[in-house]
Structure 1
Amino acid sequence: MEFKQTTILGFFDSSQKNYEIPVYQRAYAWDKKNWEIFLEDIVEQLNGDNSYFYGNILLETIKKDRNYEVIDGQQRLTTLTIFMRALLNVIEHRKNDSLLDDFDIEEKIRIYIKNSGNIKLRPVEYDRACFDAIIVDNKNKFEFNTPSQKKMFEAKEFFTKKLSDLSTNKVLDIFEKIEYTELTTIELTSKKDAALMFELQNNRGKDLTNMEKLKSYFMYQMYVYSNEDETNTNIENISNIFKDIYKLINDIKLDEDSILIYHNQAYIKGYPYRTLEDLKDEFKKTEDKIFWIKEYINELHTTFSNIKKFELFSSKYKSYLEHLGISAFIYPFIIKGFKFFGNDNYKLDELFKVLEIVLFRAKLINSRANIQERLNKILLGFEGDVNTLKRNIKNKLNESWYWGDENTENHFNTENMYDNNVLNYLLWRYENFLQSKGYNIKNFSIENEQIEHISPRQPNNGVIENGYDIDENSEYDEEFHTEYLNCIGNLMLISGSHNASIGNKPFNEKLNSYNKNPLLNQQAEIKSFAKEEDGKPVWKKESIDERHKKIVDFGLDTWSL
């Protein structure tokens, strides 16, 4: 183990030296907030006399004075290299400025970016083509395949824009400050030492993801508990599995730490799982710790793989779940479902159907009571039998009352459905029901989607037009205001432009508009509920009651367990 005090200039200034980020490390993940802090720190240092300290960089020596793997510090080094490229671009753009007469830009490119065929920093393998194009070769276009590639491009654009706003004097001051910024390199010669130091570094409060903390913790535990002749092999095993997990992360929309939580809820402790300390407590109870770690990380890899499969999965109830908005408590069931059902699409969609019902009820009722407490034992006991799962959930939700059949019906019949956060989703599912072939709510949309009050809310001028349930003063009675105006029987999906065009017009004019432009069948069917008075259609309590009952019956049937 070797400690070296150096500067950023000293760190990069060698024709042969290069640094590689191994593929078991996470890809580039810094965003605008991190870039802003990075730049603010540098600018702030310009006002002081003290040297700027960039921290420790932990390296594994592959070939002394030539090739190193970056064990810790990859986000900072990648950002630094991108920043130097942006800084050199700004200087290049101002090359005719007399202040830059003595600045050798080609020399700086050789030091920080590329010296002949030696590229100074190599990111994770699957991002190298992008890095080489936009940073090394300084191109402005690339077909991004991973979120990390897009972040590298955006970082270059961000720094270029910010630096372009500064004077040439200030740009040169920043360059000099960066070159003589101090850092410490810690060079290690084996995977064992790397595991030990990485864990010690991470215990110093560094801002890492929980996935990175878990990786370092397990590598260190392998160091502690492995037989001496198996230590390197076991640590490499951890590295290789995390390499595959990080490859998967780049293809997944859900963030890695959330997946880690859902995985541990599915297999470790249920919903009460909160932090890595819960996981460590379980680990400490085991006798064969090496076996436990290997089993755990293999299962974790399977979970990430299955989350990717889920995101690519196409089915009716999966699309319903997504349109409804998947709450966190649903994902542990999805993770276990893919484990038990594999590629059985029918069983998976049956599971999604059950989960959609539970999720819909939870969002419809939106109780302060904790649904996770009720489902925890069911989650931990779920081993792939959907019928048993459905029966257990039904019994538990009815036993709890909050999300049971009775309270679900109560909420369908609420007098103020207008403010419920599942109203739009419910009316889209109702539209599917009305269509002979059905719309796919994921793929079909209406422009500027809004909710129409068929009997209009009180207009600004206080006058409600004819055809509605009003008295001689053109006003609704108290019962209509409290029980009918915002109930589901009086609410309908409509486009924003259509809604604006009909406003608070008399009902017969609204009805003609619905009939002429029935984009949705729920608009066209209003005529079947309308009554007639004095030869004109009217929309009163009786009509609303009939439509309300039809939609409620549909809802109770659709979201029944």
Structure 2
Amino acid sequence: MQAKETLFADLVQGRAQQFQVPLYQRTYSWTDKHLKQLWRDILEQAELLEAAEEKASTHFLGSVVLAPSPQNEATFPRWLVVDGQQRLTTLSLALAAIRDHVAASNPDEAERINEEYLINKRKGGNDYLRLLPTQADRPQFAAHIRGSLTDHAICSGIATAYAFFRTKLVEADDPAAPQNVFLIEQAITSRLTLVSVTAERSDNVHRIFESLNNTGLKLSQADLLRNYLFMRLPTRGEHIYETYWLPLQDSLSNDELEQLMWLQLVLDGDDRVRRQDLYAAQQRRFEEGTTGEAEIEAYIRQLHRRGAHFRRLLHPEEEPDQAVRTALHRLDAWQAVVTYPALMLLFDRREQGELDSAETARALAYIESFLVRRMICRIPTNNLNRIFQSVPGQLPLDVPVTDGLHRLLSSENRFWPDDVELREKIRTAPFYQYGRWQQRKLVLQRLEESYGHPEPVDFAAAQLTIEHVMPQSPEDAWLRALAEDAGQEETAEQLHAQYQHTLGNLTLTAVNAELSNHPFGRKQDLLRGSHLEMNRRIAATERWGVREILARADELADHAIALWPAPLRGVGRAERSRDWQLAHQALAALRHGMWTSYGDLAAFLGSGAQAVGNHLANTPRVVNAYRVLTSDGRISEGFRWSTPQEAGSDDVRARLAADGVRFTATGAADPAQRLTAEDLAALLAGSDDDRADGEDTAEDAAVGTSPGQETRAERFFRQLSADDSPVTVEAVRSLFAHWEALGGWIGHGSGHVTTSAYLMLGESGGPGRGIWPMTLYPGGGRGGTAEVVFQYLAAREPFTDRALRAQLLSRLNTLDGVDLPEGKLELRPNIRLSLLEKERNRELLSETLTWFRNCWVNQGSS
């Protein structure tokens, strides 16, 4: 047996060869969680290449165990992949995605990638593939490598991983801050290290596999560094441990201590160090020079001093200055961990006397503004780590600290929106669909505070949630009012989609459920009694339509501009095309069989349908542009392929059909396969997306109610009975009884908009302790629905296996009236509860829930 460190390029490049995954191995099973972590590692290595830091540590990806295949030939080596097939398959799919990403603009490079890493050019049949997966995955993988995607099924992890990388490459190709796609390729092939274990025919490869994977509990980076430090303190160790280390260790958890050690490296100028490389980086620093006990002691004393600063970030109430404390509380509520390097720098400089508390509070206001304005303007957060980690090393030295931070954050490629952009986005962007729910709530809270009400609300005690003034499910009265504002070729439904989630239509209230979908007149009465100034102003408005929403947006923009300082002008800001980049990312993320409309894409962007059409018509190489159709599912009369290479064939309908889009007898695309603006937002957010504020989480569902109050279960059935038939209500009660007989329990949400019911398995009382297949909602005038939470199941065992989620979808589709397309496996589709009026549907759903419970018990729990 031979073991050596290698790179993906060294492993697969060279003469024709093949890596075969044995038939007995499991199918490809990497989930979104694994892919996201790998992508972060790839981008990190690409950034190191861009910065010409070749000496920086590479990323260790894991091991690959190979053995000669029984089909081995002297002129065509074949290897069995005993361990490592998931890594090899994923890297191959990432390279296939890069190949396809550059194919139209750089076909020679696409061909090079294909021949170097993916295919054996002069071989035929299965030998054409350099990696040959197990039989179950082979057709999927071959379709992506050969480029013949027309006949591939979508129910596979292979297709999901390929689509993930296509979407991320579009995101990385942002014209405002483009990342070199060939550096990403180089990072994959030459910066991700593997340990290749090559066995002889006589070796027991399974014993090797067992030894490699049977590892014990790893020491943390903090453990390793602590051991290293005190081994180098033979005479002063006990004193330093008791005086500095023990108090530090008692005040921070091990994870927090590790984070502090990493921050110390960043503050000392190492702005590229990764937390997982903390031990190696600090060890290298100590061993580069002459380091004795005095230097080790100085390091620990510095760590102890900065530990007090770090605790204030974790516990803002320990900060003595009120203005600084208030600012820290807001950043803590924002969950702004990414800003810690800059915050630690400010506390360090304040302790050294370079700025006082008033200047510190002003600097914190710049940081808050930077985060809030970017969030309102929907600027992706993927570069925030790099921005704030670079602050200690890039802060200007020729101006005071606070002014230097203002200048640095205003500089080119930091993308701090100015007043003009902020005002425009407050008017047009769907604020409710971006950022975390607590961030959205904090923005509205700050706006309310800015009115300076003489009796301000105690936000810590108030149970406030976000309310849509014009509701998300408007009744006819709302649509008639919107029709009054419609221009030529506009409908009330289009205006509703465009403005429902904008900031001008949102407020805070403690009576969200009472407001619900009532007409504006009824909402006025409730809002008039509110303690919030913004609600009283809404109540004083005679009607509520597009004009009023835009007028309120302008008013809120005035307050936002006063609240959150603007960047400096003339520091070298780059022009951006962020909104169109979001459109490109959304289209690249479309799954097989899915389509969207110009209006849906426009509502997602906060743009207009005509502008979307013009952009797609005039922008070459937008992935899946032909899958944007009119609202009735037809190909736009003005659609043209932007380049001959994109077309291949002029028959758009044939291309759509090949992509799995079904057509009705009238020639329109199947509306069941259409993705709305909300679907597009969820698709980009991924499985770790926060639910919108106003919706409950399953982890909150076990919270009880006070004695004497209407219980959540009573409230759920009261609201369900309001617009569903008694037969439907009784069917839901029977469904709950069946679920409880299976050993499950029903959790009810707190009812921010309406209440909800979760079909839960497992323990209550904490995140991650249970699993649920669907959430039931009363209809609020439109009939109750059951939301099937495929998006959340994708992160919960055993349903991280996409085949299991597909089986759940297939079982649900046996219900009469249910036809969920497979593209919805990434989302949270709804089915009508009224379908349960049919006895056969009740039986089929009960059987499906029994199957779900058995899957979880047998595979996902102990």
TM-score normalised by length of structure 1:
0.53
Structure 2 partner of 1:71? none
| 1: CA distance, partners of 2:244 / 2:237 | 11
Structure 1 partner of 2:259? 258
SS at match of 1:269: coil
Q: Is 1:514 matched with 2:527?
A: yes
The Cα shift of 1:494 comes to: 1.2
The Cα shift of 1:369 comes to: 4.2
The residue type paired with residue 348 of structure 1 is T
Q: Is 1:392 matched with 2:388?
A: no
| 2: CA distance, partners of 1:438 / 1:317 | 21
Question: What does the per-residue CA deviation read over 1:140-199, in whole Å, with 9 as the maximum and x for residues that have no partner?
Answer: xxxxxxxxxxxxxxxxxxxxxxxxxxxxxxxxxxxxxxxxxxxxxxxxxxxxxxxxxxxx
1:108-507 equivalences in 2 (<5 Å): 207-222=218-233, 231-234=234-237, 236-238=239-241, 240-249=243-252, 255-274=256-275, 275=277, 276-310=279-313, 311=315, 312-313=318-319, 314=322, 315-327=325-337, 329-342=338-351, 344-364=356-376, 365-367=378-380, 369-382=382-395, 385-396=400-411, 399-400=412-413, 402-405=415-418, 408-421=422-435, 422-437=439-454, 439=456, 443-447=459-463, 449-459=464-474, 462-465=475-478, 468-470=481-483, 477-495=492-510, 498-507=511-520
SS at match of 1:469: helix
| 1: CA distance, partners of 2:235 / 2:414 | 55
Question: Residues 325, 217 of structure 1: CA spacing in aligned structure 2 closer, same or farther, 3 A cutoff?
Answer: same
Question: What does the per-residue CA deviation read over 1:490-536, in whole Å, with 9 as the maximum and x for residues that have no partner?
Answer: 111111xx222232222122112211x212111101144x2xxxxxx
Contact 1:431-1:438 at 8 Å conserved across structures: no
The Cα shift of 1:238 comes to: 4.7
The residue type paired with residue 283 of structure 1 is F
SS at match of 1:287: coil
The residue type paired with residue 427 of structure 1 is L
| 1: CA distance, partners of 2:312 / 2:414 | 35
| 2: CA distance, partners of 1:463 / 1:492 | 22
Question: Residues 234, 316 of structure 1: CA spacing in aligned structure 2 closer, same or farther, 3 A cutoff?
Answer: closer
Structure 2 partner of 1:165? none
The Cα shift of 1:408 comes to: 4.4
Question: What does the per-residue CA deviation read over 1:338-380, in whole Å, with 9 as the maximum and x for residues that have no partner?
Answer: 2221394323322322222223245443515413334444322
Point out the structure with the larger helix share. Answer: 1
The Cα shift of 1:233 comes to: 2.7
| 2: CA distance, partners of 1:440 / 1:322 | 20
The residue type paired with residue 378 of structure 1 is V
Question: Residues 440, 346 of structure 1: CA spacing in aligned structure 2 closer, same or farther, 3 A cutoff?
Answer: farther
SS at match of 1:486: coil
Contact 1:424-1:451 at 8 Å conserved across structures: yes
The Cα shift of 1:409 comes to: 4.6
SS at match of 1:358: helix
The residue type paired with residue 218 of structure 1 is L
Structure 2 partner of 1:525? 537
The residue type paired with residue 491 of structure 1 is L
Contact 1:468-1:507 at 8 Å conserved across structures: no
The Cα shift of 1:304 comes to: 0.9
The residue type paired with residue 332 of structure 1 is P
Over the matched positions of the two proteins, sequence identity in percent amounts to 17
Question: What does the per-residue CA deviation read over 1:458-508, in whole Å, with 9 as the maximum and x for residues that have no partner?
Answer: 24xx533588323699x962541243222111111111xx22223222212
SS at match of 1:265: helix
The residue type paired with residue 442 of structure 2 is Y
The Cα shift of 1:419 comes to: 1.5
Q: CA RMSD in A?
A: 3.3
| 2: CA distance, partners of 1:440 / 1:510 | 20
Question: Residues 401, 436 of structure 1: CA spacing in aligned structure 2 closer, same or farther, 3 A cutoff?
Answer: same
| 2: CA distance, partners of 1:454 / 1:210 | 50
Contact 1:412-1:552 at 8 Å conserved across structures: yes
The Cα shift of 1:391 comes to: 3.1
Contact 2:451-2:533 at 8 Å conserved across structures: yes
Contact 1:489-1:545 at 8 Å conserved across structures: yes
The residue type paired with residue 526 of structure 1 is I
- Pair member with larger Rg: 1
The residue type paired with residue 416 of structure 1 is P
SS at match of 1:258: helix
Gaps of 5+ in 2: 1-214, 567-862
The Cα shift of 1:426 comes to: 1.0
| 1: CA distance, partners of 2:384 / 2:479 | 46
| 1: CA distance, partners of 2:349 / 2:426 | 35
SS at match of 1:245: helix
May I ask how many residue pairs the two structures share in their alignment? 330
Question: Residues 438, 349 of structure 1: CA spacing in aligned structure 2 closer, same or farther, 3 A cutoff?
Answer: farther
Question: What does the per-residue CA deviation read over 1:105-129, in whole Å, with 9 as the maximum and x for residues that have no partner?
Answer: xxxxxxxxxxxxxxxxxxxxxxxxx
| 2: CA distance, partners of 1:394 / 1:379 | 12
| 1: CA distance, partners of 2:565 / 2:527 | 31
Contact 1:446-1:494 at 8 Å conserved across structures: no
Question: Residues 413, 389 of structure 1: CA spacing in aligned structure 2 closer, same or farther, 3 A cutoff?
Answer: farther
TM-score normalised by length of structure 2:
0.35
Structure 1 partner of 2:549? 544
SS at match of 1:352: helix
The Cα shift of 1:456 comes to: 1.9
Question: What does the per-residue CA deviation read over 1:216-257, in whole Å, with 9 as the maximum and x for residues that have no partner?
Answer: 1012234xxxxxxxx32356435542122123227x9x8322
Gaps of 5+ in 1: 1-203, 223-230, 531-536
Structure 1 partner of 2:106? none
The residue type paired with residue 561 of structure 2 is L
The residue type paired with residue 267 of structure 1 is D
| 2: CA distance, partners of 1:440 / 1:540 | 28
| 1: CA distance, partners of 2:296 / 2:404 | 30
SS at match of 1:208: coil
Contact 2:520-2:544 at 8 Å conserved across structures: yes
| 1: CA distance, partners of 2:263 / 2:312 | 16
SS at match of 2:481: coil
Question: Residues 296, 359 of structure 1: CA spacing in aligned structure 2 closer, same or farther, 3 A cutoff?
Answer: farther
SS at match of 1:519: coil
Question: Residues 205, 490 of structure 1: CA spacing in aligned structure 2 closer, same or farther, 3 A cutoff?
Answer: same
SS at match of 1:244: helix
Higher mean C-alpha deviation, range 475-484 or range 500-509: 475-484
Question: What does the per-residue CA deviation read over 1:71-120, in whole Å, with 9 as the maximum and x for residues that have no partner?
Answer: xxxxxxxxxxxxxxxxxxxxxxxxxxxxxxxxxxxxxxxxxxxxxxxxxx
